[in-house]
Amino acid sequence: MNGAPATPPLFLDAGEAALVVEFGRTVDADISDRVLALDAALAAAAPEGLRELVPTYRSLMIHYDPLQLDRAKLIALVEQHLHAPVARKTAAALWTVPCCYELPHGEDLAEMAGLLGLPAAEAARLHAAARYRVYMYGFSPGFTYLGGLPEALAISRRTKPRPPHDSKAILVGGGLSAIASFPMPTGWYVVGRTPERLYAPDRASAFLFEPGDSLRFEPIDTATFAALEARAESGEIVARRQTP
C-alpha cells in the first residue's frame, strides 16, 4: 500500500440481491489488491444472508439475500472492512504451469508472432519469461485471466473468432494472457497448451489458483506434454505450487 489515501469505492446495485463494490475502472494490480482484501475480509466474517462473492479485475460482486441482510447494513459492513483491511488468509502462491508451445499445441503462435514481427521462438520465450498475476476467473469454469503479459506480446483480439481450440489452451489477446479450460471458438491466439486440468470436479481441489496468485509458464516439449497429461488425467496435480 502506498501513502496516498485510496479513493472510496462506488456501491452499485445489480438487482436487489447483488451489490457491486467498484474500486476503479481499469485493470490494475493495486485495485485488484483492494478487491481481494475486501473479498477475504467478507469471507472470513460472512454475515447472515451473504450468498456468494465474485472478485473481478476492479470490483467485488456480493450476492446476498436482501430479506436476511439489509442493504444499508451490508454497505456499513463493507465500509468498516475498508477502514481496517485484512490480509489474505492464505498468502499468494506462485504457480509454475507446464506449457507446450510446440505444434500441434501452439496452433497460433507463428501467426501471432508474425503479426508482432517476432520469430515464433522469441514470442514463446517472452511468454514463458513473464510473471503473471491471476486476476480473476470468468467466462467458463476454470477460465483464468492473467495480467502481466510482456508489452512485446500485446496484440488485439481477432476481429472474427477462430474455430474451437482444445481444452487447456494458453491464450494471448487484448493485452492479456489466459488459460481456457473448455474447448470453444475464441478471438484470442492459441500460443500453447498445458497438460494441467484447470477444472477437475473429480479432484479434491476442483480449481487450483486463487485470484491474486502469481503464475509462470514452464516450456515443455510434446513428449513431456503427453506424459504429464496422462498423470493429470489420473488425478495428479502437475502444476507446482510454491508459497513465499
Partner 1 sequence: MTAMLRIVSAGPGSTVQDGGRHGYLRYGVTGAGPMDPFAHALANRALGNAPGSAAIEVSLAGMEVSAEDGPVTVSIAGGAFQVTLDGQAMPSAAVMRLEPGGKLKLRAGAAGMWSYLAIAGGFELPQVLGSSATHTRTGMGGLDGRMLQPGDRLAIGAAAGEIATGRIVAPLLERPAETIRVLLGPQDDYFSADQIAVFLAGPWTISPRGDRMACFLEGPRLSHQLGFNIPSDGVAMGAIQVPGEGLPIVLMADRQSTGGYPKIATVIGADLGRLAQARPGTRLAFRAVSHAEAVQARAAEQGFLSREITIEPLIRNRFSSEFLFGLNLVDGWVDARARE
> Is the Cβ of residue 14 or residue 103 nearer to partner 1 in the bound state?
14
Kindly state the smallest distance separating residue 199's Cβ from partner 1, in Å.
8
**Of 70 and 221, which has the nearer Cβ to partner 1?**
70
Question: Shortest distance, CB of residue 16 to partner 1, whole angstroms?
Answer: 4
- Name the minimum Å distance from CB 118 to partner 1: 26
Q: Which is nearer to partner 1, 46 or 115 (CB)?
A: 46
- Listing DSSP states for 139-208 in one string gives SSTT-EEEE---GGG--PPPSSPBSPPPTTEEEEETTEEEEE-S---BSSEEEEE-SS-S--TTSSSS--
The residues binding partner 1 (CB under 8 A) are: 12-18, 20, 22, 25-27, 51-61, 63, 66-67, 71, 136-143, 145, 181-182, 199, 201, 206-207, 211
Minimum CB distance to partner 1 smaller for 187 or for 219: 187
Shortest distance, position 189 Cβ to partner 1, whole Å:
18
Sign of the CA dihedral 34, 36, 39, 40?
Answer: negative
Residue 69 or 128 with smaller CB distance to partner 1: 69
Cα torsion angle, 171, 176, 181, 185, sign: negative
Distance in Å, CB of 236 to partner 1, minimum = 20
Cβ closer to partner 1: 120 or 214?
A: 214
Sign of the Cα torsion 226, 227, 232, 234 reads: positive
Secondary element (H or E) of residue 123:
helix 120-129
Q: Pairing between strand 169-173 and 189-193?
A: antiparallel
Q: The C-alpha cell of 97 is what?
A: 504451469
Cell of 120: 515464433
Hey, what amino acid is at 114? G
* Nearest-approach distance from CB 177 to partner 1, in angstroms: 15
- Taking the C-alpha atoms of residue 193 and residue 17, their distance in angstroms, rounded to an integer, is 38
